[in-house]
Amino acid sequence: MEKNNIDPHELDYLQRTEKAILKKIDMTEKRLADTRHSFENEKKFLGENYYYVDKEGDLAQKFSEIAMLEENAQNLELEHKRLSLQLRSPYFARIDFTPKGKKTTQKIYIGLNNVFDGATTLVVDWRAPISSMYYDYPLGKASFATGKNTIEGEMSLKRQFKIENRQLLSYFDTDLTINDDILQEILSKHSSAKMRQIVSSIQKEQNAIVRTEKYDNVLVQGVAGSGKTSIVLHRAAYLLYKHRKTLKSSDIIILSPNNIFSSYISEVLPQLGENNLAETTYDRICHVELHKPIQTREDMLDEIATSPTQKQLDEISFKSSFEYLDELLKFMQGPLVETFSPKTLSYCIGFTPDDEKIEITFPEEQTKDLFFNAYKDMDIYERIAKIAWQYAMVFTERRHYNKAQFKGLRDRFKRILYNFLPIKDSDKLTQIFLARMGLTVPKNGGIRYMDKGVMLAINHFIYGFEHDFSAKYLIIDEMQDFTPVDLYVFKKLWNCQSIIVGDINQCIEKTLTKEYLDEVAQFLNTKLITLTKTYRSTKEIARFAHNMIGLDGIDYVNRSGQEPELIKSQDIAKDIAKIVEENDEYDHIAIICKSHKERSELAKALKGHVDVHTIDRSEDYNHKVLLTTCATAKGIEFDCVIVPNADQDNYVNNVDKNILYVSSTRALHKLYFLYNTQPSKFLKGLKK
């Protein structure tokens, strides 16, 4: 739509909205300046009068006042950032809705946050109940839920705006959920160093997950490019809006695949006007709990990509099964528990007038009965804590101990009771378990990637967790990379509502089935939701990738591009340089290698030909041409992907096929495969 054809009413409405936002920005800046001034004055006063404040006993109150001022300043800074973001594009949609039984039609403008002009609502937050109609309905009958009530009516207009830097460039009236022209424009954009928010283009099936109230726990199986990660981040933003009085960003924890991925998604919530979530990785949790070096997932995948043995692949498959988890639970609750061998404990607490000992005795049979019967449904650390508390309480009641004495005595009893376990080192117990199962036992003292879950589960069973990882809401991404043993650990780590997303087709080291997915949903007590529409890649790239692994039933967005190219290469560095030059208009070009060794060799070959950067840290992703491995690139998207050494002798087994599939699904617009002699059989159908 040409700007000359834009309805003057829309231009006036934009100006009115901008004026309201600017007014709010001005007020926020003044409040922020006042709060910062008060904060600095209070700090200065405390520094100059610390002795007198402490002497008067007002120190705690003064610290509390300063902390409150600091928190207020942070909230105002967030509000200022939110308003500044919204000023650039105050809203992205408008719907006209007439409630049933009413004559007045409501004109509802939808944006990142609410905008008010006095008592008038100019813009409604995209997370508000009424905004859901924009995502869920075409023109005609529509409704939205507010509390226990459902408001029905007629939607007579759905208008989508393109506003950039406070300029109304165009708008479209449509009968669709999201206008195809706008969606195509969004999807055809170049990739960026950070994932972007997608509030203006959330699809109906995505919106249903973002706003779900029906299920406490959700498991999303989504094909590559279906928007899984965006969904969970927008779900977090929705929950922060809906429960803003009781839920903070720090109450939501996201378990990310790695630090590079964490950096990639780090701007989504700030773009939505929210603080980032608490983030961690499973590697980090294992490291701080077990205090041992742990093989990374990247190194494990590198190992099986370069020199896999059938025994190694079989063990990985078994360790990824619920049968393996069952065997671990049997081991912990059977042989491990049964090693507990207590003795009678007797303590002299004084003497009678006849000089006879007054003793407190805890017979061996009493300790056994408590450990094996009364507390049999608990983990070992819980049983020991219960018994230690009970025995310390006997002393306390007889000797009238204070709280400090009781705590010291309880801790002493814990140490005594732990000594009744002949083996309590989780490393040794893991080795014993692996040997009992006929599996390979590591000899180097480190923890292999596939064994860290077992060791953490055993360590928790005996000692509990050393650190507090509690949260009010949990997000797990790349679900397929975790084993049932890992999922068991997660249930121990977090007892809260959750959303878990992944794609069983993107698991590299093993083959996962729909039946496995059902088992996961049952084990985690989650509602399984499947997403089959892909938005990332062009139709040609997506179809090629899905045909490679025999995946059907996939819906594609009608965005076409060139077919993936298969190029015979006698000089790989020269040919990569040529591809990079031909695709200079793109912001991110990734060369995705099979292994670290291949990546290192290619980095040397490319010197002097291409300005390429290896992804080792999150900051490295900001460069134009990136050299990486499939394991590191998972979850991230690139404008153009180049897969080198795609020869038959390099990509030959199922693991190799999975690597090719995941690498292919990283590409938005262009995909190239280079080979030297004979292309891999998995690339059949591509023109040479």
Neighbours of 44 (CB within 10 A): 10
- Residue 472 is encoded by which pair of tokens? 């009010």
Asked if the model's pLDDT at residue 183 lies above 90, the reply is no
Asked if the model's pLDDT at residue 9 lies above 60, the reply is yes
- Distance, in Å, from the CA atom of 624 to the CA atom of 640, rounded to the nearest integer, reads 10
Q: What is the pLDDT of residue 128?
A: 95
Q: What is the pLDDT of residue 2?
A: 45
CB 253 within 8 A of CB 279: yes
Residue carrying the six token digits 């002795």: 51
CA distances from 663 to 126, 226, 325, 602, 636 (A): 34, 16, 30, 17, 10
Neighbours of 364 (CB within 10 A): 13
List, in sequence order, every beta strand (DSSP E) within 34-148. Answer: 93-99, 106-111, 115-117, 120-125, 140-146
Amino acid at 119: A
330 burial (CB, 10 Å; 0-12 / 13-18 / 19+) is: exposed
Q: What is the pLDDT of residue 272?
A: 84
Asked if the model's pLDDT at residue 620 lies above 80, the reply is no
CA distances from 154 to 97, 124, 178, 503 (A): 6, 18, 18, 38
Neighbours of 412 (CB within 10 A): 14
- Residue 45 is encoded by which pair of tokens? 């006063």
Q: How confident is the model at residue 344 (pLDDT cuts 50, 70, 90)?
A: very high
Mean pLDDT of 608-629: 82
What mean pLDDT, rounded, does the chain reach?
A: 90
- Residue 270 is encoded by which pair of tokens? 């700030």
Q: How large is the C-alpha radius of gyration of the chain?
A: 30
Asked if the model's pLDDT at residue 571 lies above 50, the reply is yes
Q: How confident is the model at residue 5 (pLDDT cuts 50, 70, 90)?
A: confident
Q: What is the pLDDT of residue 61?
A: 84
CB 607 within 8 A of CB 571: no
- Distance, in Å, from the CA atom of 583 to the CA atom of 571, rounded to the nearest integer, reads 19
Q: Residues with Cβ < 8 Å from 601, sequence gap 6 or more?
A: none
> In residues, how long is the chain?
688
Asked if the model's pLDDT at residue 81 lies above 70, the reply is yes
- Distance, in Å, from the CA atom of 494 to the CA atom of 492, rounded to the nearest integer, reads 6
CA distances from 465 to 40, 285, 489, 512 (A): 40, 10, 10, 30
Helix axes 322-331, 484-493, angle to 10 degrees: 60
φ, ψ for residue 530 (rounded to 5)? -110, 130
- Distance, in Å, from the CA atom of 13 to the CA atom of 50, rounded to the nearest integer, reads 54
Mean pLDDT of 280-291: 92
Q: From its phi and psi, is residue 6 left (phi > 0), alpha (psi between -120 and 50) or beta?
A: beta
Helix (H) or strand (E) holding 462: helix 452-463
Q: How confident is the model at residue 509 (pLDDT cuts 50, 70, 90)?
A: very high
- Distance, in Å, from the CA atom of 223 to the CA atom of 551, rounded to the nearest integer, reads 10
361 burial (CB, 10 Å; 0-12 / 13-18 / 19+) is: exposed
Asked if the model's pLDDT at residue 27 lies above 90, the reply is yes
CB 382 within 8 A of CB 373: no
List, in sequence order, every beta strand (DSSP E) within 414-476. Answer: 473-476
Q: How confident is the model at residue 641 (pLDDT cuts 50, 70, 90)?
A: very high
Local structure of 253: helix, strand or coil? strand
Interval 543-557: pLDDT, tens: 999 999 999 999 888
Chain center to CA of 140: 37
CA atoms within 13 A on the CB side of 667: 31
112-126, 193-207, 218-232, 502-516: segment of lowest average pLDDT: 193-207
Instruction: Say whether pTM exceeds 0.75.
Output: yes
- Distance, in Å, from the CA atom of 409 to the CA atom of 549, rounded to the nearest integer, reads 62
Mean pLDDT of 491-509: 95
165-179, 294-308, 582-596, 628-642: segment of lowest average pLDDT: 165-179
Q: How confident is the model at residue 606 (pLDDT cuts 50, 70, 90)?
A: very high
105 burial (CB, 10 Å; 0-12 / 13-18 / 19+) is: middle
Q: What is the pLDDT of residue 619?
A: 59
Mean pLDDT of 428-455: 91
Neighbours of 1 (CB within 10 A): 13
In this structure, are strands 345-351 and 357-362 parallel, antiparallel, or unpaired? Answer: antiparallel
Neighbours of 332 (CB within 10 A): 20
Helix (H) or strand (E) holding 349: strand 345-351
93-102, 202-211, 263-272: segment of lowest average pLDDT: 263-272
- Distance, in Å, from the CA atom of 488 to the CA atom of 324, rounded to the nearest integer, reads 12
In this structure, are strands 149-164 and 140-146 parallel, antiparallel, or unpaired? Answer: antiparallel
Local structure of 671: helix, strand or coil? strand
Interval 150-176: pLDDT, tens: 999 999 999 999 999 999 998 888 876
Mean pLDDT of 439-467: 92
In this structure, are strands 497-502 and 527-531 parallel, antiparallel, or unpaired? Answer: unpaired
Mean pLDDT of 112-139: 94
Q: How confident is the model at residue 60 (pLDDT cuts 50, 70, 90)?
A: confident
Q: What is the pLDDT of residue 1?
A: 44
Q: What are the beta bridge partners of residue 346?
A: 361
Asked if the model's pLDDT at residue 140 lies above 60, the reply is yes
Angle 467-468-470 from CA coordinates, rounded to 5° = 150
Interval 369-420: pLDDT, tens: 999 999 999 999 999 999 999 999 988 887 777 888 889 999 999 999 999 9
- Which among 533, 532, 524 has a CA at the least distance from the CA of 499? 524
- Distance, in Å, from the CA atom of 558 to the CA atom of 550, rounded to the nearest integer, reads 21
Asked if the model's pLDDT at residue 292 lies above 70, the reply is yes
Helix axes 426-436, 452-463, angle to 10 degrees: 120
Q: What is the pLDDT of residue 184?
A: 55
Q: What is the pLDDT of residue 336?
A: 97
Asked if the model's pLDDT at residue 39 lies above 60, the reply is yes
Mean pLDDT of 105-122: 95
Q: What are the beta bridge partners of residue 152?
A: 143
Q: Residues with Cβ < 8 Å from 353, sequence gap 6 or more?
A: none
CB 620 within 8 A of CB 628: no
| pLDDT > 90 fraction of the chain, expressed in percent and rounded | 71
Q: From its phi and psi, is residue 73 left (phi > 0), alpha (psi between -120 and 50) or beta?
A: alpha
Q: From its phi and psi, is residue 370 left (phi > 0), alpha (psi between -120 and 50) or beta?
A: alpha
